[in-house]
Amino acid sequence: MKDVSFGQYYPIDSPVHRLDPRLKLLFLIVYIAAIFVADSFWGLLACAGVLLFSVLLSRVPFGKVLRAVKGVIFLVIFTAVINVLFYAGETVYWSWGIFSVSKEGMVFSAFLILRIVLLVICSSLLTYTTTPVSLTDGVESLLSPLKVIRFPVHELALIMSIALRMIPVLSEETARIQNAQKARGADFESGNLIKRIGAFIPILVPLILSALRRADELGDAMEARCYMGGKKRTKYKKLRFGWGDLAGALLGAALLTGVILLRIYVGGVI
Amino acid sequence: MRIVAEHLTHIYNEGSPFEARALDDVTLTIEEGEFFGILGHTGSGKSTFVQHLNGLIRLPSSLKRAKKRKPKEGLPAPVLRVGDFDLADKKTDFRALRKKVGIVFQYPEQQLFAETVKDDVAFGLKSFADRKHPPEEGEIETAVREALGAVGLRYEEVASQSPFDLSGGQKRRVAIAGVLVTKPEVLILDEPAAGLDPLGKNEIADLLHRLHGDWCKTVIIVSHDMDEIAENCTMSAVFAEGKVKYVLPPRELFKHAEELSAIGLDIPLVAKLCRALSARGVEIGCDFTADGFVKAVLAMRGRA
């Protein structure tokens, strides 16, 4: 019921929490660019170092941060294995039919794993340290230039914020329905895959119904308050770009420039 | 089934900023055969308490991977027994327990999912059944017929309908029937009358009395509606901030009007009337039910 799922806002105060959401979003983009530009051990080490620094600064416990990685562990292992087996490298250790294991393939997979892990940690750090509301404000503000070409930025931001807002509501609802069906003897833990999928019908049907009902009610409530979206709406909390944000921007810029320079002048492993 | 709880403590999200202490050293005994009312404000821990009773929330010691945490200083180990089931033991068969202790959650009509009323009511029956010997069609039909009858619905009228085509009150009855179908000995209802009009509330109260008489030995209702408790219960407990404040029969409990209002709880309408009359010098001794009040007033007028 009140057990929190991963990726949700972690409500403490820290320099990272106080940063402007726009800066954090841009930083995430720059960071992702940096981990894919970095093609050497030193480049990725620099990326990892910057992330470690951010995590320490955010004071979100390591356990929480690593839990985000746990969610994608299967994907990571799967991609790594596929890559090791299919990468066409030169120093081949073992091969069988179309499969081969080479030194290059292993290095490439190691880089890939590291990149995915860093990517996941960095993006979950964003959601841990930024409330959905300020995240949406950030997105809206960043996309606002698109208003010129009549792109419905505000509506998009609204959809996003409602979707984000509903995640905890629906997960609570799921837990509630799950408990109710468990009390009626439903068993979600045993049986084969098909049985288990079947076991979710008693949860899915009520969940979808309640989501539709909530959507209806929210729509009515907004209409009753004459919600009109778009122009001339003012914000309760104005976004401000402060000194901390400047420092963050400089850090991001330095990291990206650093890995680009490393790539050009030192060259990478792959 | 007698329910014994000692030193129950439950903390949600322990060790995180979301930490919330829902139960704080709760000790409470519910005797077999009682119509028990659990009162309390939102967040007082009453729902968390009842979810312990059928193992939806487990005691740490009953989990397979029992956390090897040191017991808290000065606090004796929690005890929770429902009939012969020891809920602190990890060997307990929790499915067997859930069959004996039925819980009807708040707004149970929101859990309906099947295509027909019959299938929905039969869900519990099928899922509790022995895998190797699934119940026969005839058995299912008899059980569903009985359960629907117990909640005052006619099998012939509703069984083949979609539960979503029924009225709100009927949906709730079907959902209650879905819990009754396995014939639990203890029936727990979380806010059974929430969101119903006064007539609907009376119907649910009548229904619960009928069930208490000849279907389930023990009925426990969780509520913050004082009238509901005063009218129906033989015994009641008041929860506040995760602790049990009072365990008294309603007629005794509502004499503590000041203390109850201090923890944000109201008193029944009849109790308010008695207090107002008492302030004007008219003492009416009654049990805080509407019937009792009317009888007391009539007796007084007869005397006058």
List pLDDT tens digits, range A53-80.
Answer: 999 999 888 888 888 888 788 888 888 8
Closest approach of A174 to chain B, Cα-based (Å): 11
Residue with tokens 């099998």: B155
Establish if A223 touches chain B: CB-CB under 8 angstroms: no
Query: Which position has the token pair 């660019």?
Result: A33
Which of A180-184, B75-79, B85-89, B121-125 is least confident?
B75-79
Which whole number is the average pLDDT over B162-167? 92
Tell me if A206 and B112 make a contact (CB, 8 A cut-off): yes
Cβ of residue B128 closer than 8 Å to a chain A Cβ: yes
pLDDT at A231: 66
Cβ within 8 Å of residue A113, ≥6 positions away? A76, A79, A80
Contact present, A116 and A123 (Cβ < 8 Å):
no
B82: which strand partners?
B3, B85
| Nearest residue in B to A64, CA atom | B16
CB contact under 8 A, A186 and B123: yes
Q: Kindly list the residues from chain A whose CB atom is less than 8 angstroms away from the CB atom of residue B56.
A: 179, 182-183
Q: How far apart are CA A48 and CA A119, in angstroms?
A: 10
**Per-residue pLDDT, A268:** 61
Any chain B CB within 8 A of the CB of A215?
A: no
Testing the interface with A: which of B53, B95, B111 to mutate, by most A Cβ within 10 A?
B111
pLDDT of B74 reads 63
Burial level of B292, CB count in 10 A (0-12/13-18/19+)?
Answer: middle
Q: Structure tokens of B49?
A: 């308490």
| pLDDT value at B102 more than 80 | yes
- Given a cut of 90, whether residue B144 has pLDDT beyond it is yes
Summarize the confidence of residues B59-75 as an average pLDDT.
64
H or E element that contains A99 = strand A99-102
Q: What is the ipTM of this complex?
A: 0.85
- Is A92 in a helix, a strand, or coil? strand
Residues counted in chain A: 270
Q: Which of B98, B110, B164 sits opposite A183 (nearest CB)?
A: B98
Q: How does pLDDT run across B235-262, given as a tens digit for each residue?
A: 999 999 899 999 999 888 888 888 888 8
Distances (CA, A) of B175 to A191, B139, B164: 26, 20, 11
State residue A134 phi and psi, 5-degree precision: -75, -30
Find residues 164-223 of chain B whose CB sits inside 8 Å of chain A.
164, 178-179, 182
- Asked if the Cβ–Cβ distance from B128 to A185 is below 8 Å, we say yes
pLDDT in the model for residue B66: 54
Question: Residue A71 in 3-state DSSP?
Answer: coil
Are the Cβ atoms of B108 and A180 closer than 8 angstroms?
Answer: yes
Cβ-based neighbours of A115, under 8 Å, separated by 6 or more: A35, A36, A44
Chain A residues with beta carbon closer than 8 angstroms to that of B13: 2-4
Residue B119 pLDDT > 50: yes
> What does the DSSP assignment read for chain B?
--EEEEEEEEEETTTSTT-EEEEEEEEEEE-TT-EEEEEE-TTSSHHHHHHHHTTSS--GGGSTT---PPPPTT-PPPEEEETTEETT-TTS-HHHHHHHEEEE-SSGGGG--SSSHHHHHHHHHHHHS-SSSPPPHHHHHHHHHHHHHHTT--HHHHTTS-GGGS-HHHHHHHHHHHHHTT--SEEEEESTTTT--HHHHHHHHHHHHHHHHHT-SEEEEEES-HHHHHHH-SEEEEEETTEEEEEE-HHHHTT-HHHHHHTT----HHHHHHHHHHHTT------SSHHHHHHHHHHHHHH-
Q: A1 touching B, CB under 8 A?
A: yes
Give how far B213 is from chain A: nearest CA, Å. Answer: 22
* Cβ <8 Å between B124 and A184: yes
Q: Are A177 and B98 a contacting pair at CB < 8 A?
A: no
Predicted pLDDT of residue A66: 85
Whole-number pLDDT of residue B168: 86
Bridge partners (DSSP) of residue A205 are none
Distance from CA of A177 to the nearest CA of B (A): 6
Contact A236, A131 (CB under 8 A): no
Q: So what's the pLDDT on residue B49?
A: 93
pLDDT tens digit sequence for A29-41: 999 999 988 888 8
Q: Return the C-alpha torsion angle B249, B255, B256, B261, nearest 10.
A: 110
Alpha-carbon distance of A179 to B105, in angstroms, equals 9
pLDDT > 80? residue B303: no
Give yes or no for A4 touching B (CB within 8 A).
Answer: yes
Residue B26 pairs in a beta bridge with: B8
What pLDDT was estimated at residue A3? Answer: 44
- Give me the domains of chain B, ranges plus CATH numbers: 3-267 (3.40.50.300), 268-304 (no CATH)
Contact A206 B56 (CB under 8 A): no
In angstroms, what separates the C-alpha of B103 from chain A's closest C-alpha? 6
Tens digits of pLDDT across chain A (270 residues)? 344 444 578 888 888 898 999 999 999 999 999 998 888 888 888 899 999 999 999 988 888 888 888 878 888 888 888 888 887 777 777 777 777 778 888 888 888 889 999 999 999 899 899 888 888 888 888 988 888 888 888 888 888 888 888 888 888 899 889 999 989 888 777 777 777 787 888 999 999 999 999 999 999 999 999 887 766 777 777 777 888 888 888 998 888 888 888 888 877 665
> Considering the entire predicted model, what is its pTM?
0.77
Cα(A41)–Cα(A111) distance, integer angstroms:
8
> What is the sign, positive or negative, of the torsion defined by CA atoms of A150, A156, A158, A159?
positive
Per-domain residue ranges of chain A: 8-130+241-270
Tell me how far apart the alpha carbons of residues B150 and A247 are, in angstroms, rounded to a whole number: 69
Residues 6+ apart with CB under 8 A from B174: B109, B112, B117, B120, B121, B148, B151, B153, B158, B163, B166
Written as six digits, the tokens of B84 are 């012969």
Strand, coil or helix: A101: strand
Residue B185 above 90 pLDDT? yes
- State how far the alpha carbon of B103 is from the alpha carbons of B33, B135, B271, in Å: 17, 22, 30
**Helix A62-70 vs helix A103-129: crossing angle, to nearest 10:** 120
Residue A260 pLDDT: 86
Write the residue in A64, A177, A183 that is nearest to B56 by C-beta.
A183
A90/chain B closest Cα distance in angstroms: 48
Least confident of A172-186, B7-21, B39-53: B7-21
**Tally of CB atoms within 10 A around A107:** 17
Average pLDDT over all residues of chain B: 87
B42-67 in b/e burial notation, b at 16+ Cβ within 10 A? eebbbbbbbbbbbbbbbbbbbeeeee
- Give the pLDDT score at A31: 93
B145 in A contact zone (CB under 8 Å): no
CB-based contacts of A203-208 (< 8 A; 24+ apart in sequence): A203/A174, A203/A177, A203/A178, A203/B113, A204/B113, A205/B113, A206/A177, A206/B110, A206/B111, A206/B112, A206/B113, A207/A170, A207/A173, A207/A174, A207/A177
Contacts of A205 in chain B (CB under 8 A): 113
Min Cα distance A220 → chain B (Å) is: 20
